Amino acid sequence: MPAWHPNFRDAGSLPDTKVVRTSFFINGVAILAVLALAIYLAESEFELRGLRDQTATWREQIRNEKAGSDRAVAEFKKFQEEARPLLELKAFESAKIVGSDLLLQLGESLPPHIALRGVDYHGDQILLRGSVSGSPDEAIGDASAYRETLSQYPAFAGKFEAVTLPTISRNPTGDGITFEILMKFKSEPKKKEGKK
């Protein structure tokens, strides 16, 4: 049995025998945090300085190129104004029906007791507004007959999908009726896409 003896050492008064003290780690972490923050601030300041220099360069470039840019914008506006008649001509030529030809053909097909008050041509349809004089029953028959004439008129053959009479009403100013005839163009066939 080992010899027993009392321990009279006062641990609080003994010196610290650790090789690396705890306060060293705490101070080291604090110093590293301060160094990391200083490096981050230095990089941020360097990037900010670079951005300021780049912004100044771009402003100088904008100032130098502004006159040329203003000239180019003015030339483009002039080009747009001069191109407008050509675009209108292209739209006119690509129209499904020419407006002057339409009016001539409507005038040729118009019976004497029917009067057209308006012709609206919008893209894929034509809307005719007119009136028929006479008794309401005869006027309705005349309007229907005119719609039928337009649907079979040789100049319009194959151009319209449908010619309908959507609106017929009594003429509020006198005898007869007012009507609207809707002429809807045939839709363009869609091109089939080949398999890839």
**97-146: per-residue pLDDT in tens?**
666 677 788 888 888 888 888 888 877 888 889 888 888 888 888 888 88
> Average pLDDT, whole number, for the chain?
82
Domain boundary among 39, 72, 94: 94
In this structure, is residue 193 part of a structural domain? no
Q: Are residues 104 and 65 in the same domain?
A: no
Give the pLDDT mean for 148-166. Answer: 82
Would you say 142 and 111 are in contact if contact means Cβ atoms under 8 Å apart? yes
Q: Which of 136, 129, 117 is closest to 177 using CA atoms? A: 136
pLDDT at 193 > cutoff 70 = no
In this structure, is residue 191 part of a structural domain? no
Give the angle 155-157-160 at the CA atoms, nearest 5°.
Answer: 110
Q: Are residues 103 and 181 in the same domain?
A: yes
Q: Are residues 32 and 89 in the same domain?
A: yes
Give the pLDDT mean for 63-81. Answer: 91
Range of the domain at 37: 22-94
Q: pTM value?
A: 0.48
pLDDT at 3 > cutoff 90 = no
Torsion of CA 18, 24, 28, 34, to 10 degrees: 170
pLDDT attached to residue 158: 75
- Looking at per-residue pLDDT, the higher value among 167 and 39 belongs to 39
User: Which of 35-49, 75-89, 128-142 shows the highest mean pLDDT?
Assistant: 35-49
CATH for 180: 3.30.1360.100
For a pLDDT cut of 90, what percent of the chain falls above it?
23
DSSP assigned state of 98: -
Q: How many domains does the chain have?
A: 2
Q: Are residues 106 and 179 in the same domain?
A: yes
pLDDT at 195 > cutoff 60 = no
For tokens 């009507």, name the residue. 179
DSSP assigned state of 96: S
End-to-end Cα spacing for the chain: 96
Counting Cα atoms < 13 Å in the Cβ hemisphere of 7 gives 3
Q: E strands within the chain?
A: 114-122, 125-132, 160-170, 177-185
Would you say 114 and 161 are in contact if contact means Cβ atoms under 8 Å apart? no
pLDDT at 182 > cutoff 70 = yes
SS3 content of the chain, % helix, strand, coil (to 5): 55, 20, 30
